[in-house]
Chains A and B, each alone.
Chain A
Amino acid sequence: MRVFGSQELFEDVVSHDLCIGCGACVNLCPYYKSYKGKTARIFPCDISKGRCYAYCPKAEVDLDELTKEIWNRPYDGSPLGNYRQILASRAGKKMQKGLFQAGGTVSALVTFALKNSMIDGATLTGREELTPVPHLVTDWQDAAKYASSKFMAAPTLAAVNGAVAKGYNRLGVVATPCQATAVAQMRLNPLADKDFADPVALTIGLFCNWSLGTRQLTELISQKLDIAGIAGMYIPPPPAGIMILETADGRVEIPLSEIKPLIPSTCFICPDMTSEFSDVSVGMLEGRRGWNTLIIRSEKGADLVENADRKGYLETEELPQKTVAHLSRAAGEKKARALRILIRRDLVNNGEGRRSAVRIPPQIVKKILNQS
């Protein structure tokens, strides 16, 4: 991994509008801070190598090196990344019903992991009005409070850095693909710190096609209703083509055609749909309300799912092969789309001392482009 400093992070990511605001660089130093969904550099810093740059999922991400470290094999560009099994899942009978947007799998797994001390804290994302706000949750009974997607880029990893500074060393992180990539980089000890200990015990990845800019979405929605009154928000699977906001006075529907222009351009360079660097990844299950798609990737993830299932926190079922193929096709298309944009914007595999957002072995680049 090529590691640079705060100044390069500002040049490569902030100035090029590649920052998604994940919070990976926040709470490490006095210079990068998060406010209303955006990461800001308060003052310049001239340290030549920093964790800020090393953790950033949009700066010099070496997918091959990362895959080798996390999965012990080279990066092959396969649409869904490394996995053992793909299942349908939903919260089990031990979890309270009716709280969840989809199947409640994430809440169930976090609750179970906290209750069984597999993790000493979980970083989850809540909402203050419309703005996503990270929280460190240590009581298993609080985990379900942060259920449901926020659809907005969130500085969740700021809470991870904050928790690490406080001494947490078995954290559970619920992460979007960009965040999961950052977490994977955090776990590599990129600055070769001799006191380093991997602080993350569990990464639960989320499926993500794109997110929305918090400020832009707030602006749009506040023209339509009082933001303070929003109780819930969700996007039903295609072909609905709407975002639904639930308020005390009923539902407000916003066409996705109004929503999609609010996607930050940096989402279009993301080659990961399913959070490939997680222990398990969770997404909606299209065509079956109340269920999730669950990708089990690591041994740890497999144990967690098995135990949670056995103890009644999770319920799983086989997933039809057709559904897996459909998911894989969508993920492959996102990869190829992102790569084309990365190439067009000179953000991949730059040589001659020029920095890149992502590095992918050239033969894999070809393979991904040919797959779709």
Chain B
Amino acid sequence: MSHLIDGKPGSRHLLMGNEAIARGALEAGVKVAAGYPGTPSSEIIENLASVSADRNLYVEWSVNEKVAMEVTAAASFAGLRSLCVMKQNGVNVASDFLLHLAGSGTRGGIVIVPCDDPGALSSANEGESRHFARLVEIPLLEPGDFQEAKDIIKWAFELSEEVRNPVMVRSVTRLSHASGNVTFGDLPIPDATAYFKHDGPPLDPMQGVMLSYPVAIKHQRQQQKLQQAIKRFEQSPFNTYSGPQDPGLLVIASSACYLYCKEAIHLLGVNKRVGLLKLGTTWPLPARLIERHLTGCEKILVVEEVLPFLEEEVKILAAELARKIGIKTFYGKKDGSLPMVGELNPDLVVAALSNILGVNYEAVPEIYAGRAAELARAAAPVRDLTFCPGCPHRASFWSIHSALQLDNRQGFVCGDIGCYSLAMLPSGYSTLKTLHSMGSGTGLASGFGKLDRYGMAQPAVAVSGDSTFFHAVLPALVNAVHNNSNFLLVVLDNSGTAMTGFQSHPGLPTDAAGNMAPGIDIPTVCEAIGAKVVVCDPFDLQQTQQTMLRLLEDKDSVSVLVLKQICALSPEKKAKKTYEMKVEQTICLGENCGCNRLCTRVFKCPGLNWDKDKRVSRIDEVICAGCGVCASICPAGAITKQEVS
């Protein structure tokens, strides 16, 4: 039994934000949950999957976010409550369906939870999901702490059923991945019946067809529903105010920034002069509530991540209310009080507040900070972001890089999203020359492969992980084959959605809940599409490189090279070493070899160390995963491998 359903109502638990969101969905009686893994969102679906049998839920890892949205919408149409989870840029993928879903309306409560990643700690972007709520015109909520993360979900389901439309609840990394106290509520009795009524009057939201057509009527109805949402927002318990009656400065904040503001106000000791309006309902804004708070202040600082979304909305309101409330002075992103990129933190809010208020505050004396930074530079070793010891990607990119260099036509690799995105860095031999969204490596290569008529003679290579392959590479591959493009797609199949924690995907024989499921074979799919397919073991460097060189010669078709080797951290591997590795100290010449430390300087596996005293290489037995690859790269043959029996 999971701790999520173990505790009694009223008991307090230390929960990660994502666990709180999952618990909130359970308390709301969610029946169907779907998502695509992506940091910082993955734990929500994982936690729901772990209790799915106990709570009679259907939980799936969908092939991508758009399909996840469709799966959850189906549950809604059949009268069930459903939850759809993704990281920020997943909303981009889901947005086409979401736009139409917002137009058709929904039935059972449907909540979409995007977890944004300000500062791009685990992303290739710091895109924001909030804009999509405004774009497709659905209510947007932002919990400000862990308790709210749970409670707001139930409230969101109720709101969704009132306005008959999806409700977006936006989280961020520091909420999803931090932990706090959460008091449990009741869990409803898990029963429900699914039925999709579709033969009533066509425009009847609960009995007719689910269409966004006729658009004018439906769109107008959608906007009327938003007015209903605003009414609820005016009374929402998730909008709170603390501070004096008429503060000199009003701070408006949402999400994790609320906690940063509380801390900053406390640190500066300005709680008598500064009021803090925390908004949990951030689009559309509750106008009367905002008006009340704007009336009593002259200056307003809006604190949010990343772009000035709230700031703009508040400014629009203030402009509309100017006759009543007078002219205000605004601080935030636009005037440069706070940065418009990256995460915020209490220090940044302290800096903004002390500038506006003219208060001097130095958290750390400048001299101390300078000396601490100097010491850190001198004492802390520089560590690159790198692949794990025994990672198949290191071997794969060694071969991809080597083959492209040998081929010598300035070929390049279009990268994609996964652990292997690290190959843009020296630990992956700086092999990736483009990196964008899921599947776009293959789409770009499909385009590059058509530029021969303009003299382009550089071979294009795309890489894709196994999960990414199903998510968004498939359409790009179909496009390439159909349009007679010419490139090599390398599928780095490590048998799992490794980067986000080994979630299942359509290529694997299990589903999100761990049940048997038909796995779809990538080589067979590629062959059926019409690509030439070769499967290699990336740990066999020579065969992989020779195969790649041969496929790069191909001038008139799309080839797929599947490099299949299970992730070194995979739970199935149980950290078992295939080989016991050794650097023969009599053979390794170290600095006298002329290899210029190929193994530790270039290959860069953390399992290999440079012995600074003896000036030779050695294996770090604790870290070495025993993959055996480094034995094939040492030009002196000094690295040996012995099979572990």
A35 touches B407 (CB 8 A): yes
Q: Which residues of B contact A51 (CB under 8 A)?
A: 594
B352 to chain A, nearest CB (A): 44
Given contacts A35-B406, A42-B402, A43-B602, contact A30 B595 (CB under 8 A): yes
Q: Which residues of A contact B406 (CB under 8 A)?
A: 33, 35, 40, 42
B596 touches A29 (CB 8 A): yes
Partner of B401, one of A35, A38, A42: A42
**CB closest residue in chain B, given A50:** B594
B402 touches A29 (CB 8 A): no
Q: Which residues of A contact B602 (CB under 8 A)?
A: 43
Per DSSP, are chain A's interface residues mostly helix, strand or loop, or mixed? loop
The answer to whether the Cβ of A46 comes within 8 Å of any Cβ in the partner chain is yes
Q: Give the docked Cα–Cα distance between A29 and B602 (Å).
A: 13
Given contacts A35-B549, A43-B429, A43-B602, contact A30 B408 (CB under 8 A): no
The answer to whether the Cβ of B269 comes within 8 Å of any Cβ in the partner chain is no
A46 touches B596 (CB 8 A): yes
B397 to chain A, nearest CB (A): 12
Q: Give the docked Cα–Cα distance between A43 and B406 (Å).
A: 11
- Chain A contributes a number of interface residues (CB within 8 A of B) equal to 18
Which residues 15-38 in A have Cβ within 8 Å of B in the complex?
28-31, 33, 35-36, 38
Q: Give the docked Cα–Cα distance between A41 and B596 (Å).
A: 14
B596 touches A40 (CB 8 A): no
Given contacts A29-B594, A29-B596, A35-B549, contact A40 B405 (CB under 8 A): yes
| 0 or 1 for each of A42-57: is its CB under 8 Å from B? (1 = yes) | 1101110011000000
Q: Which residues of B contact A30 (CB under 8 A)?
A: 595, 598, 633, 635
B596 touches A35 (CB 8 A): no
Q: Give the docked Cα–Cα distance between A36 and B552 (Å).
A: 13
Q: Which residues of B contact A29 (CB under 8 A)?
A: 594-596, 635
Q: Which residues of A contact B402 (CB under 8 A)?
A: 42
**CB closest residue in chain A, given B406:** A35
Q: Give the docked Cα–Cα distance between A259 and B602 (Å).
A: 40
Partner of B408, one of A6, A38, A50: A38
Q: Give the docked Cα–Cα distance between A40 and B429 (Å).
A: 15
**CB closest residue in chain A, given B403:** A35
Q: Which residues of B contact A31 (CB under 8 A)?
A: 596
B633 to chain A, nearest CB (A): 7
**CB closest residue in chain A, given B599:** A30
Given contacts A29-B635, A30-B633, A35-B549, contact A42 B405 (CB under 8 A): yes
Q: Give the docked Cα–Cα distance between A41 and B408 (Å).
A: 9
Q: Which residues of B contact A28 (CB under 8 A)?
A: 594
**CB closest residue in chain B, given A47:** B596
Q: Give the docked Cα–Cα distance between A45 and B598 (Å).
A: 9
**CB closest residue in chain A, given B429:** A43
Q: Which residues of A contact B407 (CB under 8 A)?
A: 35, 40
Q: Which residues of B contact A36 (CB under 8 A)?
A: 408
Q: Which residues of A contact B408 (CB under 8 A)?
A: 35-36, 38, 40
Q: Give the docked Cα–Cα distance between A51 and B602 (Å).
A: 20
B488 to chain A, nearest CB (A): 16
Which residues 254-302 in A have Cβ within 8 Å of B in the complex?
none
A355 to chain B, nearest CB (A): 21
Q: Which residues of B contact A40 (CB under 8 A)?
A: 405-408
Q: Which residues of B contact A43 (CB under 8 A)?
A: 401, 405, 429, 598, 602
Most B-side CB within 10 Å, residue of A28, A31, A43, A50: A43
Most A-side CB within 10 Å, residue of B401, B408, B549, B595: B408
**CB closest residue in chain B, given A46:** B596
Partner of A45, one of B401, B596, B633: B596
Q: Give the docked Cα–Cα distance between A46 and B598 (Å).
A: 11
A14 to chain B, nearest CB (A): 9
Q: Which residues of B contact A6 (CB under 8 A)?
A: 596
Q: Which residues of B contact A35 (CB under 8 A)?
A: 406-408, 549
Which residues 162-209 in B have Cβ within 8 Å of A in the complex?
none
**CB closest residue in chain A, given B634:** A30
Q: Which residues of B contact A45 (CB under 8 A)?
A: 596
Which residues 572-606 in B have Cβ within 8 Å of A in the complex?
594-596, 598, 602
A-B contact pairs, 17 of them (CB 8 A): A29-B595, A29-B596, A29-B635, A30-B595, A30-B633, A31-B596, A35-B407, A35-B408, A35-B549, A40-B407, A42-B405, A42-B406, A43-B405, A43-B602, A45-B596, A46-B596, A47-B594
Instruction: Give the A-binding residues of B (Cβ under 8 A).
Output: 401-402, 405-408, 429, 549, 594-596, 598, 602, 633, 635
A35-B406, A42-B402 given; 15 more Cβ-contact pairs under 8 Å: A28-B594, A29-B594, A29-B596, A30-B595, A30-B635, A31-B596, A35-B408, A40-B407, A40-B408, A42-B401, A42-B406, A43-B405, A43-B598, A47-B594, A47-B596
Instruction: Give the B-binding residues of A (Cβ under 8 A).
Output: 6, 28-31, 33, 35-36, 38, 40-43, 45-47, 50-51
4 shortest interchain CB distances as A-B pairs: A35-B406, A40-B405, A45-B596, A40-B408
